[in-house]
Each structure stands twice: as structure tokens, then as C-alpha cells.
Amino acid sequence: MKQLIIERRPSPPAGLPIEQQVSPVLARIYASRGITDQAELGRNLKELLPDTAMKGMDAAVVRLVEALEKQQKILIVGDFDCDGATSTAVAIEALRMMGAGEVEYLVPNRFEYGYGLSPEIVEVAVTQQPQLLITVDNGISSVEGVARANSHGVDVVVTDHHLPGAELPDACAIVNPNQPGCDFIAKSTCGVGVIFYVMIALRRALQQRGWFEARGLGTPNLGVLLDLVALGTVADVVALEHNNRTLVHQGLQRIRAGYMRPGIQALIEIAGRDPSKMVAADFGFALAPRLNAAGRLEDMSIGIECLLSPDLDYARDLANTLDELNKERRQIEQEMQQQALVILNDIELSDEQLPWGVALYDASWHQGVIGILASRIKDRVHRPVIAFAPGDEGEIKGSARSIPGFHIRDGLDAIAARYPELLRKFGGHAMAAGLTIAADKLELFQQALDEEVRRQLDAEDLQQRVLTDGQLSGAEISMELAQLLRDNGPWGHQFPEPLFDGEFSLLQQRIVGQRHLKMVLMDPASGIAIDAIHFNCDAELWPDEGINRVQVVYRLDINEFRGKRSIQLMVDHLLPA
């Protein structure tokens, strides 16, 4: 077991306005995340950054207005993850509300066409005879695909958030906060956020033209799309800075008030959640995996149709299908994880033997699940991990997950510069990326990855650290504080849910389900007994009846069972004290 270093966030300076506005514990938590005044939290739609700061927005709106005025056929080209699915649904719903007569979508099957607007998927698209293609959550790297569309006389508007390469596609408009020269400061806006902004700008342009009045249409309320925007934003694990927090908060408020589309309601039901008590984490851990399972194993159109369905019964049928796919995905993932651990054990799972950058491959692995696999192994070994599965003939496709300090997309770029023939395709973010290499180049790639990680990191970076909000007293471990924390998010990436640590007496421990450790802990100072659960514990270490005192890193939560509510510690890390 790798050693874990627990560090506590430094105490904020005294005298901040937030101290007078919220409880002491909440004030400390907010201040440690850079919030010194409630006004900085980001809750009001009026506080959203203006769309006018997005480069390419004017050109995109001009082309979309033309498409509506001429009633041209518009084809949305999406991506096969949750951000892509919600982006597709937002584009279609908004354009239809604004009077588009023909707007359809096309999502590449990841096993046939791969990611993005490839030349091959353009050939499929043109059979539907669109006059305009709009990419959502992809397109910034589709230089060849846009060129192919242009050769067919089909215009392309790119909306994306991924990091661009050296060459941009020759689209009639590109809207991407991460493209060179874009002044939009919320660089962490994900695909669904970008297309939502485009639709806001389009609505304003149409209002200025008297479009809605002339056609007897009411001005559409784009707020009805915020449940989709919130889901896609949390699912894509982008930073919940001020702008994204506003979008997620507003989406959650709508859902809690009962205003949600049937597809979202059906997904919430199948996940066993209560809409009135939804929190941001429910998007990431309950709804998104079910949508992603469609894109990983079959066809994301199942998920998109669920999100678009106006009929609740039909949405429930689709949600059931998504739930079954997610169960299948989990089974495949568990089997692959066991195989990966065997591979790691063959090279001895120790800091001395393990490469600094880990690249694993098995001919039996499933392309749709390697991203989750890479994430699980990364969590176990705390270093960048890339999992490969068979791709097209002679190729293998990889999904990468990284650790703080190593920008995986830039790392791949550096490898490509040093070994020009090694990477056939790559793209992504700081913490996640995708790539394709020749199968016979795996050993060279493993060497190159290890070299690059060693070049950028030192041994301390490979030591897993967890940052907590300190210790809670027995009196603070209460229903009131748990509810306060639940109500005062949304919490998420780079605005993390409060995490606490402490030492407890271990009174009871047993496995429930297959891999979950159910415990009763006692706070030694107060003598209060508290329920706790550690999901997916290491079965080789727990339960251990020889341990009666533990150090715990946990989140404070409320367990609701058969109408009763009680405090429960959700344990992230468990160590003998």
C-alpha cells in the first residue's frame, strides 16, 4: 500500500467579510478556496460572463442566423461522452425553440470512426444533405474533417473547449475559449457551456431582428436547458470556478424545484436519487456514468434520445437501457482492472520497479472502458497512466489520466516533438487525453512516456497527498453541519467538497455488498459513535480485526434509509492509526 500524506489547508487570515456572513466552519472552508465574500460565490445568472468576450462568436451567430432565415438543414456533430451528449441536446433543443425546421444530430461511433469530425464521419454526414455542420465538444483538432466538409460545400461552425493544436481548422467560425486570442476568462468552460453561450448570443441576435415576433414565436427561455448544462459541466470534471458554479447552481436549483426534462428525471429515478435533494456529486457519480456507458459500449444516441425525449415513459425505458449498459460496463471494468494489476505485479508494484509514466496494454481490453481503467490504476499508483486497447488494424488506442503537476496533453505533445513518427493522433486536457499509436511502437512509447514524466516531475510528485479541511470536533459532526455543507455548494473540481480528517476508535467493521467496508467509529473526545462507510475498499487489507484505531479522511454526509436520517462519514482514505 502506498503511503499517504495528509496535509491540512492553511488557516485563512482573520477579519474576512465571509466570517460575518456564514457559520465559522463554512467561512473557513470558503476562505480556503479563495472565497472571502459571499458575493464571490457565483449563484446569479446576471453574474455570468458576457458571451461577447468569446472569440468567433459574432461569426458563428451570423452563420446560424443565415441558416435559420433560409431554413437550411443543420446537423449537430457531437461526442460520445456525457459532455458531448448534453451539448448535442442543448444545441438541438435551443435551435428548435428558435424556429429551426430541420436540425438533427450525428455522433460518431467510437469503434468505427473514433473521436471528432473526421473525414470519414463527414462522408456519412453529407449523405443527409446538410447545409451546415455544428460541432459540439469537438472539432478544434478536426483540420482534415473540416477541409473535407468544405470540399463538399458544407459549412462548419466549430464549438469546442479542448486545447488546440498548431493548426486550426478552416471553419467559417470557431468558438472555443481555449483558442489563441480568445479573451473569455473562464477557460474551464466545457463543451455544453460553450454551445449554451452560442445559443444565448443567437437568441439575442434574433431578438434584435424581430425574428420571434414576426413568426409568432415566444422568445425562448433558455433557462430550461440549465439542467443539461449543469450535468455536462460536472460530468466533464472541469474547474468549478465562478462561472461554472453559477451554471451548475442554477441547474441544480431547477431540478430541486421539480423543473427538469423527462430524461433527467428518468435518470435520477433509475439512480435512486431524490430530485429535491440533488447535489453536484450526484451528476458525476449517478447520472453521468449511465449516459457514458452508452458511448462506451454501444451508441451515445441512446443517451441523447433519453435527454431529448418529451415523454417520461419513453425516457424511463431508455434510462433502464442505460442502467443495464452501466452494469455491463462495471463488470468489464472490474475484469480489466484485475488484468491490469496482474501486469503491474509482474513488474513488481513498488516505487523502485514501477515506471514513472505507466502505459499498459492488453489485446482483450475494451476501447470504451480504458479511460476508467486508466483512472483507477492512476489512483492506485499515483502517477500518469495510459491504458491501451486494440484499435484499427495495426493500431492501438490509448486513454490517459494524469496527476497534479503533469499536463498530460502537453506531455504527449513533447513526446511527439521528440519522436515525430510515434504518435499518430492525440488530444485532450491537462488531466486526461486520448491517443493512437502503432501497435508495434508500444515499447518505444512506454520508454518515451517514462522519460517525459521523469523530465517534468521529481520523486516527491509521485507521493500521494490529500488536502483536508482539518479536524471536526465531536459537536461539529452533526446533522446541521452536514446539511449546511450539502446546501452550500455546488462542490466540484478545483472547488472541492469539504474533506476532513481525524483519528477514531474502530468499534465495528464488516463488508457489505462486494467491496464496501461498513464501520462504526467513535470520536475519542466526545465518546459519540458514528456510522461510516468506505466504498471499494482494498479487500486485501480490510476488514482487519487486529486494528482498533484508525486515521480517517472523510466527507460528512446524511444517510437516509426507510425514512430515517442519520450522520454518516463517507470515507475516502482509511489508515491504521
Give pLDDT tens digits for 264-308: 999 999 999 999 999 999 999 999 999 999 988 888 999 999 999
Predicted local distance difference test score (pLDDT) of residue 560: 87
Predicted local distance difference test score (pLDDT) of residue 325: 96
Whether pLDDT at 563 is above 50: yes
> Which one-letter amino acid corresponds to residue 380?
R
Helix residue spans in 170-224 (DSSP H): 191-208, 211-214
Whether pLDDT at 147 is above 90: yes
Q: How many CA atoms lie within 13 A of 130 on its CB side?
A: 27
Exposure pattern of 172-193 as b/e (b: 16+ CB <10 Å)? Answer: bbbbbbbbeebebebebbbbbb
Whether pLDDT at 1 is above 50: no
Rounded to whole angstroms, the Cα distance separating 71 from 416 reads 44
Instruction: List the beta bridge partners of residue 111.
Output: none
> Which one-letter amino acid corresponds to residue 522?
M
For the record, the C-alpha cell of 511 comes out as: 463488508
Whether pLDDT at 427 is above 90: no
Helix residue spans in 257-311 (DSSP H): 262-270, 280-282, 288-297, 301-308
Rounded to whole angstroms, the Cα distance separating 149 from 134 reads 11
CA 365 vs. chain centroid, Å, equals 22
Of 11-20, 60-69, 422-431, 475-484, the poorest mean pLDDT is in 422-431
Q: How many CA atoms lie within 13 A of 54 on its CB side?
A: 33
Predicted local distance difference test score (pLDDT) of residue 352: 66
Q: What is the mean pLDDT of the chain?
A: 94
Backbone φ and ψ of 495, nearest 5°? -140, 65
Predicted local distance difference test score (pLDDT) of residue 281: 95
**Largest separation between any pair of C-alpha atoms in the chain:** 77
The predicted model gives 302-318 an average pLDDT of 98
Predicted local distance difference test score (pLDDT) of residue 360: 94
pLDDT band at 557 (very low <50, low <70, confident <90, very high): very high
Predicted local distance difference test score (pLDDT) of residue 499: 98
Which bin fits 137, alpha (ψ -120 to 50), beta or left (φ > 0)? left
CA distances 410 to 376, 389, 416, 427, 453, Å, are: 22, 22, 10, 9, 11
Please name the residue that has the C-alpha cell 466538409: 149
For the record, the C-alpha cell of 308 comes out as: 431529448
Length of the chain: 577
Q: Which of 315, 386, 257 shows the shortest CA–CA distance to 89?
A: 315
Q: What is the pLDDT of residues 175-226, one digit of tens each?
A: 999 999 999 999 999 999 999 999 999 999 999 999 999 999 999 999 999 9
pLDDT band at 110 (very low <50, low <70, confident <90, very high): confident
Predicted local distance difference test score (pLDDT) of residue 347: 59
| Contact assessment for residue 357 and residue 457, using Cβ atoms and an 8 Å cutoff | no
Rounded to whole angstroms, the Cα distance separating 94 from 98 reads 6
Backbone φ and ψ of 19, nearest 5°? -65, -25
Predicted local distance difference test score (pLDDT) of residue 412: 97
Which DSSP string corresponds to 351-368?
TTTS-SSEEEE-TT--GG
Q: Which domains does the chain have, with CATH numbers?
A: 45-220 (3.90.1640.30), 347-462 (3.10.310.30), 466-576 (2.40.50.460)
Whether pLDDT at 336 is above 60: yes
| Contact assessment for residue 140 and residue 114, using Cβ atoms and an 8 Å cutoff | no
| Contact assessment for residue 386 and residue 441, using Cβ atoms and an 8 Å cutoff | no
Predicted local distance difference test score (pLDDT) of residue 387: 96
Rounded to whole angstroms, the Cα distance separating 231 from 398 reads 26
Q: Which of 223, 220, 184, 226 shows the shortest CA–CA distance to 204?
A: 220
The percentage of the chain sitting over the pLDDT mark of 90, rounded to a whole number, equals 85
Q: What is the pLDDT of residues 355-403, one digit of tens each?
A: 999 999 999 999 989 999 999 899 888 999 999 999 988 999 999 999 9
